[in-house]
Amino acid sequence: MSASVQRRPGESILSNPLVGRALGCLALSFVLALMIGKQEGTQQDFGLAFRQAVLGPRILWFLLIGVLVFVLLTFWPRVQPYLNRPGIRPLAVGGLTVVVAYALLKWTDSTAVSDGKFGTLSDAASQTGTLAPLARTFFTAPLPWVLFLVAFAVGAAAVVIRRAVLSWVGAAIAVLAGVWAWYSHSLVQSLLGSPDHSTGALVALLGFLTIAAACAATALSAEESANTRGFINGVFAWRPGMPLVGVALLLGLAGFAIATWFSPGNRNATLVDTASMFSTTGLSPLSKAYLGWLGYVLFALSLALAAYAAYRRDARLGWGAAGLGLVSLVLNLVALHDISAVGASTAYDGATGAWQNLGTGGWLACATFLLLAGAGYIVATAGSERGTIARTKADIAAGIGKIPGKSKALILFVLAGALFYPPMATPFWQKVLVSEIGIYVLLAIGLNVVVGWAGLLDLGFIAFYAIGSYTTAYFVGALPIQPPEWMRLSPLLCIPIAIIICLIAGVSLGAPTLRLRGDYLAIVTLGFGEIIRIVAVNNPGNFTNGPRGAFGIPQPEIHLGPIHIDWGQASLQYWYLLLVIVGLVILAFNRLEQSRLGRAWAAIREDEVAAQATGVNTTRVKLLAFAIGASTSGVAGVFFASQIGYINPDNFVLNNSILVVAYVVFGGMGSLPGAMAGAAVLTWLPEFLKDQVPAEDRQMWIGAVILLMMIFRPAGLIPAKRRAAELHGLDEPSSAETTAVAANEGMGATK
Amino acid sequence: MSAVIAEPTAPDTAQRDVVFDVRNITLRFGGVTSINDVSLQMYRDEILAVIGPNGAGKTSLFNSLTGVYTPQEGTITLAGRPGDAPRSVIGEKTHVINHMGVARTFQNIRLFPALTALENVKVGVETRMKAGPLSAMLGLPYQRREERESTERAYELLTLVGLRSRANELAGSLAYGEQRRLEIARALGTNPGVILLDEPAAGTNPAEKRDLADLIRLVNREHNISVLLIEHDMKLVMSVADRLVVLNFGSKIAEGLPEEIQKNPAVIAAYLGTSAEEAAGEVETQPELHTIADDTANMTSLDDAGATTQEETP
């Protein structure tokens, strides 16, 4: 506060900086009030929206926001030291999560509750006499908000005052509120009795648990400032593999004790119910035993073995746990297959084949066993990791060096989710997973080679996707011009041909544009993308069938000796095909990034002249980037064409190219996991928001997310190590002390 | 300009193996002549220094030798490594010339800042390797072997320049002198027969300069790599160079042994901005040029002297 109190005569009161700031803040709240809520007037009354915004009592809330901003700005130097206290960030995240769950998310999919939001549901629930009193109490009007505000306020007070008692009280209230909300919601669900995939209650529970964790962190941490990353590193470094065992314990308990294994007629049969349900049917003895007792025993055994191996850091026990986990996983899958096959053989609940009508429990058990096997594997291999490994506590807290098993554990979490979440999801989300998330992840991986690694901005990337799609359409005979009979191929066999054609296309785009850089290259590639689309529209030689495109592209199939796999309409099967393709591409590209070509790409991106002078053949390296990126896109095109069955030029518009670039930038340019995460998040978000916000507001929310990212993580969700250095690493002092080079070190050889 | 061109007086030049044979090259940018009819020979295993005031055309000469610029007239032939047949480099691409055995460093350091020191050197080492993208994606055994070899070689070179302990630091985070040495290591990684150093001592302190001189001698004597050096620091140049070539306004004004150059009136004139005749008189009173250089060592170069010359000379 440097406001001068004394005013010289003749100076207006407005020149006082405090007054100016106060007016600015009030103006801000006024504008906010106009922006939020209904916007349009009526034919008779154009001033309606304005009056609603400004003259109603709700303007007071906005003015309060303005005053709060003013107070914060004015006392900022005093507020700031508190912002680094341990627990403050989880507290903010948790609070925000709960508010989102209360205000935005759906709490039920049942049509009995009009929009399914928390407000509507709680009104209805509090007036339902048949609901258990505990749940009714929770949903009674101000209580949920009061609980939240009390938990948040006590948490905030604990952060500021740093009293252990206060922290534990806050944590207790938060846990209580979260569990109460979850329990009340599940009671409401069983009353409504319809299948439900709403996320509100779960998100609220997570938010409350985060607040509780923040309180606990405040109580437990001795330091003045927070070190979240150090804390997480510490968790992973304590015993490699143990975090996986912990998560597996939770998943396993949920899977074996609570979750539905089989859902005939919307009934939720847990493992016990399922076992009794199938006790008299012709289930194989092994599966019967698994449902009856073997499953529990295997869970307990592999959990104990993995935990003990992790605790003792014993590699042999680790391999044992890995083996036991895998065997259990296979047995579990066999049992799941058997019960669903028996269910299908009796056409139970309209089932037509195996793997139908299964609940979440079996898949949770699968994830559990996979994680336990992974934990064993991590224990077994933790000792043999190469590179600089963080050994001391200080190193772990500061994030210097590798934490053994951390990246493997994260990969296993993602893998478990990718393998066993989709069968639990609704058909809608399965479709989104395949035709949005999966395909765009593959495209983003391809574009990341061109944009992220080689630093060549390509705005026509979707053209190669189109080329891959049309190649497939031609070779399966779905276009007006038919290939000769001997050249007709099944869609999966088109993949190598599409790769070759896209390699050629990539090189032929790359070759003439090699001299261009930056914006100029972007413009030319953008033109290339449009040329391909317009050629497809113009139908030269009746090849592309013009705007109508190609239809009747067959589904992929494999007939290899005794193996017959036929992909039908169900999205889930495509998901696993896509998972195999993406997995292979990731393995290959991960090696590529660490190879001499990956370093040569980084070199031309950083300094092309120096790269040339160091002997890098920049022409070849750039062409390879274009070709490899293009062929990845071509594979995605083959997949897309044969999955969806029909293509036309509208699938390949400029907008899609720009979206893929946005995904790569959002995720972190030059980072393989980043590009994938960026594509996954930004394709998931619009679909997710469909249910949560009015359709007109969807783009606004996505824009807000991107804006927040640009402010808080400008290098992307998961920044590349090499790129991160480029963005800010150079100004930072190097992590190690600058040691003076000993007089003769290296120059040594003074003979 | 009435320049006196001293004949090369190095012993038994006739028998020596020529690395670079530059004959009458002229390089123009529009109306500006950057290099004017320059000829020079560089012999195997020598340290040849090119000196001259700012704007004399030294870096243009380097760029012509490495294929960044293509001179309009004249010929340049190169026998990069011992036993190579002489080949013209005019019109060849930079990376091809590099593969012929010419490595260089830059006046303003041009590392790959976002790669580690080790990776920087590996980029250089690996330009001599064969494994393509497919073998990298499949992780074929011979690609892995090459990878191991390049890592080993890179560590050797980092040890040579004294950066072994900094191998996993990002190049951009190294100290200035370390970056200079890393650039040399990266250049050596390409297994050159001749290395072109463009002002390697610029911006380094006296201790680092001594280390650098040791390094240059070591590279030259132990590894049998010919060195072509541009440097403003006269003390360094006089201590390491076997022979000197002096450029001024794009023309060669002198060539010879260090002690001859120090007494050469044309050179002194070029640096001090007086005519050759006056300078000849000055040689008596101030026989050793490098004492002048010593005085100006803190300026890292004789830029200012050079700048004034340009204004005053017709």
* pLDDT given at position A744: 36
SS3 content of chain B, % helix, strand, coil (to 5): 45, 20, 35
- Separation of alpha carbons B49 and B236, rounded Å: 10
- Separation of alpha carbons A730 and B269, rounded Å: 43
- Which of the residue ranges A30-39, B4-13, B31-40 has the most confident prediction, judged by mean pLDDT? B31-40
Q: Any idea of the CA torsion for A334, A336, A339, A344, to the nearest 10 degrees?
A: -100
pLDDT digits (tens, 9 = 90+) for B188-209: 999 999 999 999 988 888 888 8
Residue A507 near residue A623, CB atoms below 8 Å? yes
Same domain, A479 and A378: no
- Separation of alpha carbons B251 and B33, rounded Å: 10
Among partner residues B162, B189, B190, which is closest to A745 by beta-carbon distance?
Answer: B162
Fold category of B13-101+193-312 in CATH: Rossmann fold (3.40.50)
Backbone angles phi, psi at B128, to 5 degrees: -100, 5
CA distances, A712 to each of A670, A707, A721, B135 (Å): 19, 9, 17, 39
pLDDT digits (tens, 9 = 90+) for A47-61: 777 787 788 888 888
* pLDDT given at position A737: 33
- Which of the residue ranges A405-409, A593-597, A723-727, B6-10 has the most confident prediction, judged by mean pLDDT? A593-597
* Final residue in a domain of this structure, among A74, A109, A138: A74
pLDDT digits (tens, 9 = 90+) for A67-76: 999 998 888 8
Task: Identify the CATH number of the domain in which residue A189 sits.
Answer: 1.20.140
- Residue B3 in this model has a pLDDT that exceeds 60: no
pLDDT digits (tens, 9 = 90+) for B154-191: 999 999 999 999 888 889 888 888 999 999 999 999 99
Residues sharing a CB contact under 8 Å with residue B273, sequence separation 6 or more, in sequence order: B305, B308, B309, B312, B313
SS3 (DSSP) at A60: helix
Same domain, A440 and A420: no
Can you name the residues that pair with A564 across neighbouring β-strands? A559
The one-letter amino acid at A235 = V
Cβ of A599 and B126 within 8 Å? Answer: yes
Residues sharing a CB contact under 8 Å with residue A326, sequence separation 6 or more, in sequence order: A369, A373
The pLDDT > 70 percentage for chain A reads: 91
Cβ of B214 and A595 within 8 Å? Answer: no
Cβ of B103 and A610 within 8 Å? Answer: no
- Residue B294 in this model has a pLDDT that exceeds 80: no
Per the domain annotation, does A532 fall within a domain?
yes
Helices of type H across A594-617:
596-606, 608-613
Cβ of B114 and A725 within 8 Å? Answer: yes
Cβ of B113 and A618 within 8 Å? Answer: no
Same domain, A473 and A540: yes
The token pair at A489 is 């191929």
Helices of type H across A514-570:
518-538
Q: What's the angle, vertex CA B253, arms to CA B249 and CA B259, rounded to 5?
A: 130
Greatest alpha-carbon pair distance for chain A in Å reads 99
- Separation of alpha carbons A335 and A274, rounded Å: 11
Same domain, A101 and A143: yes
Is residue A8 classed exposed, middle or buried when 0-12, 13-18 and 19+ CB atoms within 10 A define those classes?
exposed
Question: Min CA distance, A638 vs chain B (Å)?
Answer: 21
Residue A396 near residue A237, CB atoms below 8 Å? yes
Q: Could you tell me which of B105, B102, B157 has the C-alpha nearest to residue A609? A: B105
CB contact, 8 Å: B223 with chain A?
no
Same domain, A331 and A184: no
- Residue B2 in this model has a pLDDT that exceeds 50: no
Identify the weakest region by mean pLDDT among A4-18, A678-692, B121-135. Answer: A4-18
- Residue A169 in this model has a pLDDT that exceeds 60: yes
The token pair at A381 is 């291999």
Same domain, A420 and A439: no
Indicate the pairing of strand B226-230 with strand B194-198: parallel
How many CB pairs lie under 8 A apart between chains A and B?
151
The pLDDT > 70 percentage for chain B reads: 82
Cβ of A736 and B99 within 8 Å? Answer: no
Q: Where are the domains of chain B?
A: 13-101+193-312, 113-191
* Final residue in a domain of this structure, among A618, A636, A654: A654
Same domain, A175 and A247: no
CB contact, 8 Å: A584 with chain B?
no
Same domain, A409 and A522: no
CB contact, 8 Å: A615 with chain B?
yes
- Separation of alpha carbons A664 and A451, rounded Å: 8
Residue A535, CA atoms < 13 Å, CB-side half-sphere: 12
- Residue A13 in this model has a pLDDT that exceeds 60: yes
pLDDT digits (tens, 9 = 90+) for A601-640: 999 998 888 999 999 999 999 999 999 999 999 999 999 9
Residue B41 C-alpha from the chain's centroid? 14
Question: Min CA distance, B117 vs chain A (Å)?
Answer: 12
Among partner residues A607, A628, A745, which is closest to B112 by beta-carbon distance?
Answer: A607
Cβ of A602 and B126 within 8 Å? Answer: no
Same domain, A203 and A257: no
Chain A hits for B222, CB-CB cut-off 8 Å, are 749
Same domain, A334 and A358: yes
- Separation of alpha carbons A688 and A686, rounded Å: 5
CB contact, 8 Å: B168 with chain A?
yes
Edge to edge, what strands does the sheet with B47-51 contain? B102-104, B194-198, B226-230, B47-51, B243-248, B251-256
CB contact, 8 Å: B99 with chain A?
yes
* pLDDT given at position A750: 33
Cβ of A603 and B163 within 8 Å? Answer: no
Edge to edge, what strands does the sheet with B32-43 contain? B32-43, B18-29, B73-78, B87-88
- Separation of alpha carbons A642 and B284, rounded Å: 90
Can you name the residues that pair with B195 across neighbouring β-strands? B103, B227
**Residue that wins the pLDDT comparison between A589 and A273:** A589
Q: Could you tell me which of A402, A416, A333 has the C-alpha nearest to residue A372? A: A416
pLDDT digits (tens, 9 = 90+) for A119-164: 888 888 888 878 888 888 888 878 889 999 999 999 988 888 888 8
- DSSP for A346-367 reads TTGGG--STT-SB-HHHHHHHH
Q: How much is the average pLDDT of A63-90?
A: 86
Per the domain annotation, does A670 fall within a domain?
no
- DSSP for A115-171 reads S-BHHHHHHHHHT-TTS-HHHHHHHSTTHHHHHHHHHHHHHHHHHHH--HHHHHHHH
- Separation of alpha carbons A267 and A458, rounded Å: 52
Q: Give the end-to-end CA distance of chain A in Å, rounded to a whole number.
A: 67
The tally of domains found in chain A comes to 4
The token pair at A321 is 């746990």
Per the domain annotation, does A342 fall within a domain?
yes
Sign of the Cα torsion A696, A701, A702, A707 reads: positive
* pLDDT given at position A562: 78
Residues sharing a CB contact under 8 Å with residue B1, sequence separation 6 or more, in sequence order: B249, B251, B313
* Confidence band of A514 (pLDDT split at 50, 70, 90): confident
Per the domain annotation, does A690 fall within a domain?
no
ipTM above 0.90, yes or no: no
Per the domain annotation, does A195 fall within a domain?
yes
Query: Domain range for residue A116?
Result: 87-226
Per the domain annotation, does A235 fall within a domain?
no
Residue A610 near residue A599, CB atoms below 8 Å? no
Q: What Rg, from alpha-carbon coordinates, does chain A have?
A: 30
Cβ of A725 and B110 within 8 Å? Answer: no
Among partner residues A612, A733, A749, which is closest to B218 by beta-carbon distance?
Answer: A749
- Which of the residue ranges A4-8, A513-517, A691-695, B65-69 has the most confident prediction, judged by mean pLDDT? B65-69
- Residue A347 in this model has a pLDDT that exceeds 80: no
pLDDT digits (tens, 9 = 90+) for B101-115: 999 999 889 999 889
The token pair at B313 is 């000379």
- Separation of alpha carbons A21 and B162, rounded Å: 57
- Separation of alpha carbons B130 and B99, rounded Å: 13
CB contact, 8 Å: A347 with chain B?
no
Residue B305 near residue B273, CB atoms below 8 Å? yes
SS3 (DSSP) at B274: coil
Neighbours of A417 (CB within 10 A): 11
- Separation of alpha carbons A208 and A217, rounded Å: 14
CB contact, 8 Å: A726 with chain B?
yes
* Final residue in a domain of this structure, among A204, A226, A248: A226
* pLDDT given at position B277: 57
Residue A1 near residue A74, CB atoms below 8 Å? yes
- Residue B18 in this model has a pLDDT that exceeds 50: yes
Mean pLDDT across chain A: 84
Q: Could you tell me which of B183, B214, B213 has the C-alpha nearest to residue B196? A: B183
Q: Tokens 């490699």 sit at which residue?
A: A240
- DSSP for A264-319 reads GGG--B-HHHHHHHTTTS---HHHHHIIIIIHHHHHHHHHHHHHHHHHHT-HHHHH
The one-letter amino acid at B255 = E
Q: Which phi-psi region, left, alpha or beta, contains residue B255 (left: φ > 0; alpha: ψ -120 to 50)?
A: beta
Among partner residues B98, B115, B218, which is closest to A613 by beta-carbon distance?
Answer: B98
Question: Min CA distance, A616 vs chain B (Å)?
Answer: 6
Q: Tokens 């349009």 sit at which residue?
A: A40
Q: What Rg, from alpha-carbon coordinates, does chain B have?
A: 20
